[in-house]
Amino acid sequence: MDGQEVPSYVLHKSKPRSLIPKLLGFLVLGALFYAGILLNISLLELRNEEESIIILISMLILFLVISVGVFLAIRRANLPYLFYRDKIMFNGNAILYAGITNTQPNQNLWDKMFKTESINMGNDFSIKHIPQTMQIQNYLQQLVNYGRGMR
C-alpha cells in the first residue's frame, strides 16, 4: 500500500443544489454582459461589418467564460467530503474534529428549495449542499466529541 489513509466515510453533495443556482447565475450574468456589449456597440459609430465582428468576438469570449465556469462548477459539485479518523477533508482543505466549533445546520433560500442544508464548522470550513435526509449533525457531533477526547 502507498501509505494513504482510507476515509472512514465519504459524503457527497446534492448535485442539483450545487449546480442549478450556479448555472442560473451564469446565464443572468452572461445576458447582462451581452446586453452591455450591445449597448456600447450601438453607441459607437461603426460600420456593419465591424459591429458584426465585435459581436461575434464578444459572443465567443462569453461562451468560453461560461463554459469554463460550468466545467469548474461541475468538477467542484462532484468533489466529496472525506471523513478520516481525526479530520474532514474537502478539495485539499482539512479541519480537525477538535477544531470544529459548530455542528448546527442552517439553510438559505436555495437550501429550502432543494431540501438541503449547510454547516459552517468554523475556521473557514463548511459542509454545503447536503441533503436533509442525511441528518449529518449527530454524526458530526459524535466525531467532535471523539476528537476532543483524543487530546
Say whether pLDDT at 151 is over 80.
no
Least reliable range by pLDDT among 71-75, 90-94, 132-136: 132-136
Considering the entire predicted model, what is its pTM? Answer: 0.79
CA 81 to CA 135: how far, in whole Å? 15
Residue range 78-99: mean pLDDT, rounded: 93
Q: Kindly report, residue by residue over 2-29, the tens digit of the pLDDT.
A: 457 899 999 999 999 999 999 999 999 9
Q: Helices (DSSP H) in the chain: which residue ranges?
A: 15-43, 48-77, 109-114, 137-149
Residue range 98-126: mean pLDDT, rounded: 92
Neighbours of 112 (CB within 10 A): 11
* Phi, psi dihedral angles at 145 (to 5 degrees): -60, -40
Say whether pLDDT at 150 is over 70.
no
